[in-house]
Amino acid sequence: MYTLLSGLYKHLTQKDQYYILILGLDNAGKTTYLEQTQTRFNKNYKPTNLARITATVGLNIGKIDVGKMTFNFWDLGGQEELQLLWDKYYAECHAVVYMIDSAETSRLQESLESFNKMICNEHLNGVPLLVIANKQDLEESVHIPDIKTVFNTSAQKIGQRDCSVMAASALKGDGIDEGIEWLVKCVARNKHNRPPTEPDQ
């Protein structure tokens, strides 16, 4: 009887597992964004000192629970040589967060080129895409309409999928809640195309 009740309880309380990729050039603020997300959504999370975050070499992993969902984040290094590893994760992810350093105008074209290589991969067909224009708290940052103008050249490559461009300051935590809310809606809407991973896997 206990086993039956235990199994029923587990079934009723288990959460659908979704995997979210955080991509973008080095120094775009990917790891800071992940740290702030975990801090805001995990009550007992002990955050890293944001001032001590260094460039990611390989992979950072994070997790949050949102309602009946668990988001598992893969924050991948953005250096050119590490971008070669991005496509190893495409087939298993349920959404992509693409970070742009909107204050470093000299690298916007480079960021667009990496974005285009990513979005053309067949394993990402139909996967929701959240573009974060980070560092909007800085005076020299490029505003959202101008970011959209640059990245609108990729509209045909983006194709039929949920896609949004949002302003954020990962360092200050601005825009985090809005981004997660958008992801929750979009991965749920895309379940027929990319179902959640079973909790026991």
**Does the annotation list 77 as a binding residue?**
no
Query: What distance in Å separates the CA atoms of residue 133 and residue 174, rounded to the nearest whole number?
Result: 11
Q: Does the annotation flag 136 for ligand binding? A: yes
Confirm whether residue 60 is marked as ligand binding.
no
135 is in an annotated binding site: yes
Q: Is 62 one of the annotated binding-site residues?
A: no
Q: Is 78 annotated as belonging to a binding site?
A: yes
Asked whether residue 137 is marked as a ligand-binding residue, the answer is yes
Partners of 60 in beta bridges: 75
Helices (H), 19-171: 30-41, 108-119, 144-151, 155-158
Is 134 annotated as belonging to a binding site?
Answer: yes
Q: Tell whether residue 179 is among the known ligand binding residues.
A: no
The answer to whether the annotation marks 29 as part of a ligand binding site is yes
Burial of 9 (0-12, 13-18, 19+ CB in 10 A): exposed
Q: Are strands 69-76 and 163-167 parallel, antiparallel or unpaired?
A: unpaired
Annotated binding-site residue? 101: no
Question: Which amino acid would we find at residue 14?
Answer: Q
Q: Is 26 known as a binding-site position?
A: yes
Ligand-binding annotation for 30, yes or no, is: yes
Annotated binding site for GTP: 24-31, 78, 134-137
Annotated binding site for Mg(2+): 31, 56
Annotated binding site: 24-31, 56, 78, 134-137
